[in-house]
Amino acid sequence: MNTGSLLAADLVIAVLAAAGWLGAGTASAARRRPLALGLAAVALLATFARAITITALARAGWWFVAEKALIAAPLSLAGTLVAGTRLLRIPGDIRSTAVPLLFAGYAGLGALLVTLLHGYPASAGVGLLAVAGILAATVASWRVLGTRPSPMVSRAVAVVAVASLVTGTGLAAPGSAPVMPHDHEYRDARTVGEPTRRFTLTAGTATVRVSGRDVAAWAFNEQVPGPELTATVGDVLEVTLRNRNIARGVTLHWHGYDVPNSQDGVPGVTQAAVLPGQEFVYRFRADQAGTYWYHTHAVSDVGVQKGLYGVLVVRPVPVTGVDVTVPVHTLAGQTLPTPRVEPVEVGEPVRLRLINTDSTTHRYALAGTAFRVVAIDGYDLQGPTPVVDTAVLIPAGGRYDLVFTAPATPVALFVDGRAVYSTGPVSAATDRWPVLDPLGYGVGAPVPWSRFDRDFTLVLDRGLDLRGLLPRYGHTVNGATDPDIPPQVVRLGDIVRFTIVNRSMVVHPWHLHGHHVLVLSRNRTSVTGSPLWLDSFDVRPGDVWEVAFRADNPGMWANHCHNLAHVDAGMTLHLMYS
Ligand SMILES: [Cu+2]
């Protein structure tokens, strides 16, 4: 069982234990003796099973069990002891076990809420709050059931509950938010030389035709995707962004392209959002060949999804063969691009540049030919070998370049089972194909660094965010949401290592701006294949990724989940140079 499944199993068992104790308590209050004993037995079994899941999770890393070991385990133990000792005395009137059983239930429920609403890291304040809630609920049950404890017990419980509540809320209250030293003197990068390629992108609302139906979109130059920007290595690109009528503003972020910080297009960090009637000129040198894309970073959750994105391809010279870009996107429930058939001559080399511009992972399957994955996220792989009848999973924002030699028979590319590109009719059951693991593909090379100047751990989770006007259920990093996640500070030249841990139940496609990171390991297994320099990678539930990079691009960089709805719910922080 992998860690993600263990996290899910542990949650189910915790719910079962809490529900079992609460049900048993309610049943004994109603004098339903067999039901009460049955439910108590279920709860007891679930509690023992949880000892196993927590122990197994602890082996995957302390991040996965911190609050379970420090808060849930002691509470469960106390609940089980109180309820168990009372049950063992086999009372004549089962009703007298109601409050002890309910106490065990409140203890389980309290611990569960700590995991679901607070998560990582565990804190004494949250533990005390849970204790206060459990004691208050227990005292209330005593009163309701009329089986009052002795006045001394009552008084002791009240004192403990109030003390816990006071210290708990005190400790759980937000500290002062770290000051974000935003650099508002947006530097401009006119020093890269005279432009050799000029483009103008005008953002505006538009009606586009998708699968024969009119769809309201936001578009660059009234098309979704926006114009494909192409360049040759060495070109200087100048892209003028104009905003016709997108009220919430637009910017251009060059996803995966490690441009100077001032050209990175993150509103509030590297520039102000471009409002209707305004323009902003981006200029940078095309030094990296490969497959990239651009998109707005202003209210990106809405803007990208509605269509403010396009392809950026930088080619080395000379180019031979067929070169096709396939930017997959979901617009109004329809998958773009719509299927198309392209004639290709037999024996011709074909390169498919697959781009996932959505917020969730897509599964790509190339049927009818063997192929090689020659590049991921714009970086060439070493020694890619041919594979056949194998699918690839591309994370949100990620790119894979597939290369094959056109066979005499048709070839088709399926995305999540639907053909988006073909050279003729192909029927293939691709959904059972194995998935290529890039960490073991191609020829390996040693990691270029033996020591790391900075080490950061990012624990991804969910949690209740009480800092705004309305409480929201945020996606957290180390227990906080944007803008309260402390920035990561590095110096120019540092070798920086990130450990990224996902203890939530959903995938987080991680994306650091301005740098490609070298993957060191995933779940303690080192990379055995080609070095992987990524800018977008899926951290699945239970995953622990270790990645590293050289801090060689000064500035203030966004470091965030590329499920853009998660960014909206707080999952973004900054990497800054001191
Ligand atoms: Cu996410």
Half-sphere exposure for 563 (CA within 13 Å, toward CB): 18
CA-based nearest residue to 497, from 458, 453, 548, 449: 548
CA-based nearest residue to 373, from 395, 358, 391, 397: 391
Distance 146 CA to ligand 1 centre (A): 48
Distance 415 CA to ligand 1 centre (A): 22
Four-point Cα dihedral 289, 295, 296, 297, nearest 10: -70
- 10 Å CB burial of residue 459 (0-12, 13-18, 19+) is buried
3-state DSSP percent of the chain in helix, strand and coil, to 5: 30, 30, 40
Residue-by-residue pLDDT tens, the chain, 578 positions: 899 999 999 999 999 999 999 999 999 999 999 999 999 999 999 999 999 999 999 999 999 999 999 999 999 999 999 888 888 886 678 888 899 999 999 999 999 999 999 888 888 888 999 999 999 999 899 888 887 666 666 777 777 777 777 766 654 444 444 444 444 334 444 468 899 999 999 999 999 998 889 999 999 999 999 999 999 999 999 999 999 999 999 999 999 999 999 999 999 999 999 999 999 999 999 999 999 999 999 999 999 999 999 999 999 987 788 999 999 999 988 888 877 778 889 999 999 999 999 999 999 999 999 999 999 999 999 999 999 999 999 999 999 999 999 999 999 999 999 999 998 888 888 999 999 999 999 999 999 999 999 999 999 999 988 777 788 899 999 999 999 999 999 999 999 999 999 999 999 999 999 999 999 999 999 999 999 999 999 999 999 999 999 999 999 999 999 999 999 999 999 999 99
pLDDT (tens digit, 9 = 90+) per residue, 40-85? 999 999 999 999 999 999 999 999 999 999 999 999 999 999 888 8
H helix or E strand, kind and range, residue 500: strand 495-502
Distance 566 CA to ligand 1 centre (A): 5
Distance 548 CA to ligand 1 centre (A): 20
pLDDT value for 150: 63
Distance 550 CA to ligand 1 centre (A): 24
Distance 512 CA to ligand 1 centre (A): 13
pLDDT value for 544: 98
Distance 41 CA to ligand 1 centre (A): 39
* C-beta neighbour count of 2 within 10 angstroms: 12
The per-residue DSSP string of 190-224 comes to: GGG-S-SEEEEEEEEEEEEEETTEEEEEEEETTBS
pLDDT value for 472: 86
